């Protein structure tokens, strides 16, 4: 039986080329809260000082710290609507539970006022387009994101298309209505229709939710948290959405690495399931187009600090889902999972990446990236990518 991977192939990438004219969302000052003390304490099981030596413990520590925060934090009540296509097998309960766990993790941070998920397989991709029109009308969305041609583009972005027909879907795309002056959150969720020995895999039902693909629910939910931190941050040149600002703030690999690290650790409720899905993602081959590093500490630091674009146009972009995930996981183990969103919150207040990193972790990005590159080199020496 083929083991499916939880690699999310499409995310909150909102291209300026079709979003239309830039517009400000609001004139309110950025007052996003940060519910943790900064800099974070560095006296836990994993620290910047011992992370390289204890690299093998990092996945378990990161997952455990995530569960501790989820268990300690209060529930966050965000009005949530989940629309599932008529031919799509998916558990609304599992989707809602995953989102609730993510919301608890980030309790106290700025969040969207509402969330809508449109869930569809290949047979339902046309239905998804029609449903989106209804949803956006109900929400009063006037964003260019809601234009029919852009709805079609976003829905199909998560699908393998043969001409006008969707063959299989499996990617997600989170929403950003900044140019329409709406704070509403949500995502398109593409559902795989794979067959295993002639039987539908049903990865999105309760029995299959621990296999991996359904972690897309919280992956895209994490993108919503990233983007909404920047809703009141002034747009820069050639920027139309909050997502544009968020991508400009952080290293190119961080957005997808963060969405994978947080999305998987919040969705997976047992350590064995987390490790299984995590290992599949971290070691997944990114494809022949990618310019692979040599996986030495020097080459990995060059990769982490390189000035590449946060877009699939970047040939290395897929490494964000794997190497990026492992890097963010290490930061989560060292500083706790909430520290990762605190970076975005400080960025939304106008801090540059290097400054925000120092404020959150108490060491410079130069020092931090050196440690992370050594951790990654040790991890990939033990479990090489593509094996």
Residue 287 has pLDDT above 70, yes or no: yes
The whole-angstrom separation of Cα 145 and Cα 209 is 30
pLDDT above 90 covers a percentage of the chain that reads: 83
With a CB cutoff of 8 Å and minimum separation 6, the contacts of 117 are 80, 81, 82, 83, 95, 99, 186, 187, 189, 217
DSSP string, 262-286: HHHHHH--SHHHHHHHHHHHHT---
Q: How many CB atoms lie within 10 A of CB 18?
A: 14
- If DSSP codes are grouped into helix, strand and coil, which group holds residue 296? coil
Q: Are 362 and 387 in contact (CB under 8 A)?
A: no
* The total number of residues written for the chain in this structure: 387
pLDDT (average), residues 123-149: 95
Q: What is the Cβ-side half-sphere exposure of residue 290, based on CA atoms within 13 angstroms?
A: 19
Task: Classify the C-alpha dihedral 282-288-290-292 as positive or negative.
Answer: positive
Confidence of residue 30 (pLDDT cuts 50, 70, 90): confident
Confidence of residue 312 (pLDDT cuts 50, 70, 90): confident
For the chain, domain boundaries: 16-382
Q: What is the pTM of this model?
A: 0.93
Residue 55 has pLDDT above 50, yes or no: yes
- If DSSP codes are grouped into helix, strand and coil, which group holds residue 119? strand
With a CB cutoff of 8 Å and minimum separation 6, the contacts of 336 are 36, 40, 65, 69
- If DSSP codes are grouped into helix, strand and coil, which group holds residue 366? helix
pLDDT (average), residues 52-71: 98
Torsion of CA 352, 353, 358, 363, to 10 degrees: -140
Using alpha carbons, select from 7, 3, 42, 46 the residue that is nearest to residue 378.
46
pLDDT (average), residues 41-70: 96
Residue 194 has pLDDT above 90, yes or no: no
Residue 13 has pLDDT above 50, yes or no: no
Name the H helices within the chain. 16-19, 58-72, 92-105, 125-139, 148-157, 216-228, 242-249, 254-267, 271-282, 297-305, 319-335, 338-348, 353-361, 365-382
Q: What pLDDT score was predicted for residue 10?
A: 42
Q: What pLDDT score was predicted for residue 343?
A: 98
Chain-wide mean pLDDT for the chain?
91
Q: What pLDDT score was predicted for residue 28?
A: 67
Tokens representing residue 344 in the block: 């975005």
Could you tell me the maximum CA-CA distance found in the chain, to the nearest angstrom?
Answer: 56
Task: Classify the C-alpha dihedral 55-221-313-229 as positive or negative.
Answer: negative
- If DSSP codes are grouped into helix, strand and coil, which group holds residue 190? strand
Residue 345 has pLDDT above 90, yes or no: yes
The whole-angstrom separation of Cα 241 and Cα 259 is 18
Q: How many CB atoms lie within 10 A of CB 159?
A: 23
Residue 5 has pLDDT above 70, yes or no: no
The whole-angstrom separation of Cα 365 and Cα 105 is 25
pLDDT digits (tens, 9 = 90+) for 87-117: 999 999 999 999 999 999 999 999 999 999 9
Q: What pLDDT score was predicted for residue 386?
A: 84
């Amino acid at each position: 039986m083929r083991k499916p991977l939880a690699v999310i192939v499409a995310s909150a990438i909102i291209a300026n080329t079709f979003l239309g004219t830039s517009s400000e969302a609001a004139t309110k000052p950025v007052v996003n809260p940060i519910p943790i003390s900064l800099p974070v304490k560095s006296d836990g099981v994993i620290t910047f000082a011992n992370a390289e030596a204890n690299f093998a413990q990092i996945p378990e520590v990161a997952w455990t710290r995530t569960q501790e925060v989820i268990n300690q934090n209060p529930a966050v009540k965000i009005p949530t609507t989940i629309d599932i296509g008529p031919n799509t097998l998916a558990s609304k309960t599992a989707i809602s539970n995953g989102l609730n766990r993510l919301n608890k993790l980030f309790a106290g941070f700025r969040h969207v006022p509402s969330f809508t998920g449109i869930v569809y397989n290949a047979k339902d991709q046309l239905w998804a387009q029609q449903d989106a029109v209804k949803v956006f009308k109900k929400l009063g969305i006037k964003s260019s994101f809601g234009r029919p041609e852009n709805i079609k583009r976003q829905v199909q972005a998560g699908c393998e298309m043969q001409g006008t027909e969707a063959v299989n879907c499996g990617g997600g795309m989170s929403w950003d209505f900044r140019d329409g002056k709406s704070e509403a959150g949500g995502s398109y969720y593409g559902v795989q229709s794979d067959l295993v020995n002639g039987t539908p895999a049903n990865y999105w039902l309760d029995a299959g939710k621990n296999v991996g693909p359904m972690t897309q629910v919280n992956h895209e939910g994490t993108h919503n948290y990233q983007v909404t931190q920047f809703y009141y941050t002034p747009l820069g040149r050639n920027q139309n959405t909050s997502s544009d600002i968020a991508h400009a703030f952080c290293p190119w690999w961080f957005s997808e690495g963060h969405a994978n690290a947080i999305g998987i650790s919040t969705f997976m409720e047992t350590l064995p399931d987390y490790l299984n899905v995590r290992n599949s993602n971290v070691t997944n081959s990114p494809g022949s187009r990618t310019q692979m590093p040599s996986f030495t500490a020097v080459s990995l630091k060059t990769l982490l600090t390189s000035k590449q674009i946060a877009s699939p146009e970047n040939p290395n972009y897929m490494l964000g889902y794997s190497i990026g995930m492992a890097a963010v996981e290490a930061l989560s183990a060292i500083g706790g999972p909430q520290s990762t969103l605190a970076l975005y919150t400080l960025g939304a207040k106008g801090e540059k990446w290097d400054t925000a990193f120092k404020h959150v972790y108490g060491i410079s990005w130069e020092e931090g990236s050196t440690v992370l590159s050594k951790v990654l080199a040790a991890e990939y020496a033990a479990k090489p990518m593509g094996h």
